[in-house]
Amino acid sequence: SSELTQNPAVSVTLGQTVTITCQGDRLRSYHASWYQQKPGQAPLLVIHAKTNRPSGIPDRFSGSTSGYTASLTITGAQAEDEADYYCVSRDSSGNHLFGGGTKLTVL
Amino acid sequence: QVTLRESGPALVKPTQTLTLTCTFSGFSLSISGMCVTWIRQSPGKALEWLARIDWDGEEHYNIFLKSRLTISKDTSRNQVVLTMTNMDPDDTATYYCAQLVVPSYTFDYWGQGILVTVSS
């Protein structure tokens, strides 16, 4: 599939670990990056180039890729991690594609 | 410090053409590897990539919207302009511009976004 598929919603208990996944054919060839978006705000890059974390992003955020699936893991989720999370990748033509987004609820 | 700011009309009528300007600072689009991209988000919906322009002038478009979009740059003014023709109420969205750097291909910096409503 040319799409990037994400679960629409995921929940996690405060302090526990949660993994958000993104599936798509293009992930076999191109890395995914991950963005966090809180209500009323622009998205924020949290993971790039498959596993790298920009400066200022807590180390509880990590990324991985296996085959057609990219994953964003939050180890020890905090209340402030409640947000929408989007994966995005590209193709050989320079076009980009976002996943449908995952709404993370921290209980 | 990299900043981007979107400007344009808040309201357009159906069938009109939308013109949005992204004014940026902290980098130059004349430098190899620098790109500016447009992304939109309809209310309550997912992010949607629209277009990208690269330092060398190469343009990239969402294949589903390509016929309606044009992206251009004015390097001397640090601006990127996006036009979208034949606007429809379904195009109501917050439009963001963002910086992208090759080879990371990540949207490192974003503008605050501009809400454009399409209504008669």
Distances (CA, A) of B6 to A50, A102, A107, B36: 29, 26, 36, 12
- Give the C-alpha separation, A38 to A93, whole Å: 30
Q: Does B47 touch chain A (CB under 8 A)?
A: yes
Q: Which residues in B lie closer than 8 A to residue A94 (C-beta atoms)?
A: 52, 54, 58, 60
pLDDT greater than 90 at residue A61: yes
- Contact state of B47 with A101 under an 8 Å Cβ cutoff: yes
pLDDT in tens, B53-67: 999 999 999 999 999
Q: Which of A91-95, A96-100, B8-12, B45-49 shows the lowest mean pLDDT across its residues?
A: A91-95
Q: Does B52 touch chain A (CB under 8 A)?
A: yes
Question: What share of chain A has pLDDT > 90, as a percent?
Answer: 79
- Contact state of B106 with A96 under an 8 Å Cβ cutoff: no
A69 near A83, Cβ under 8 Å? no
- Contact state of B106 with A45 under an 8 Å Cβ cutoff: yes
pLDDT in tens, A14-54: 999 999 999 999 999 898 999 999 999 999 999 987 668 88
Q: Does B61 touch chain A (CB under 8 A)?
A: yes
Q: How many CB atoms sit inside 10 A of residue B88's CB?
A: 11
A26 near A45, Cβ under 8 Å? no
Q: Which residues in B lie closer than 8 A to residue A5 (C-beta atoms)?
A: none
Sheet holding A69-74, edge to edge: A5-6, A18-23, A69-74, A61-66
pLDDT in tens, B61-116: 999 999 999 999 999 999 999 999 999 999 999 999 999 998 888 998 999 999 99
- Contact state of B107 with A33 under an 8 Å Cβ cutoff: yes
- Give the C-alpha separation, A70 to A24, whole Å: 9
